[in-house]
A = this chain, B = another copy of it.
């Protein structure tokens, strides 16, 4: 950090007013005569004065900064979400302080405490399950929080997501109606990702209801994992599968084709989180699409309201999902 060339004090002196007046001008306070305002503005312009946001933050107890907690960057899923968040944040002049919590030595409560120390005005959390400790720190400091991409009914936090149980049922129904009876659910990490837990719940209900055998493949996290898990799925005679991530679905798809399995005749595949990857693979992947950009944008918008102490009509928003039937299902 460099020494600041020109401060509010310099402007005040040059414009022959008090620093309080300069502050008013800078903050758009109306209690300034137009004449005075213009004079101050001219000096600000001439001196290239720029307010020091850190000093503003200390004095006003507002930093116009929000903390964004993501599980990692390499996941396109979260890239789209971030885009929605960033666009709205920019619109409302908030900055984003970014933290990731994957493969890290840091626990989520350390990450959150750090954000809190930096005095963020609010937090968007789009990672996996939050620890009690982290949750308490957030509540104790009374910091507004919105969970993005997570179903949650906690009254302390806002949330924006789709209905993951409905997403699962929708996908299962497609497979079932195409005559598939050996249905698999390929998961990332059930314990870490709450959404996966919802999916499991809907899956188990469906399986029970239709008297089918349960085939859950956990801990399938990457393209390679997906590629590898296919072998087991093949042994298990799976004829319809739902994967919670595009990358793993792509891995299964390619492995199946390399093994000479006909898609979708012998194996139908549905990806539950859709990114560009679903469109690039051949055949194109059928997906239950979550509106990722919208989830991010709506979450950020909700957060701005909370930070501004505005009324939030609905703390828990469920966005509609979209079914995109492509060529890894029969499309009957």
* Residues in chain A within 8 A of chain B (CB atoms): 1-3, 50-55, 57-58, 61-63, 65, 68, 72-76, 79-80, 82-83, 86, 90, 95-100, 104, 106, 113-114, 116-121, 141-143, 223, 247, 250, 254, 257, 276-277, 279-282
Contact = CB atoms under 8 A, between A and B. Distances in A.
A223 B279 contact: yes
A111 to B, nearest CB: 9
Contact of A62 (B1, B72, B142): B1
A307 to B, nearest CB: 9
A100 B142 CA distance: 29
A55 to B, nearest CB: 5
A114 B289 CA distance: 35
Given A50-B117, A52-B117, A58-B58, A74 B76 contact: yes
A33 B250 CA distance: 60
A97 B100 contact: no
B73 A80 contact: yes
A201 to B, nearest CB: 30
A71 to B, nearest CB: 12
Contacts of A120: 1
A1 B121 contact: yes
Given A52-B119, A53-B118, A73-B80, A223 B86 contact: no
A164 B99 CA distance: 31
22 contacts: A1-B143, A50-B117, A52-B58, A53-B117, A54-B54, A54-B57, A54-B118, A54-B119, A73-B82, A74-B79, A76-B79, A90-B106, A95-B97, A95-B114, A95-B118, A96-B97, A96-B98, A97-B97, A97-B98, A257-B282, A277-B277, A280-B281
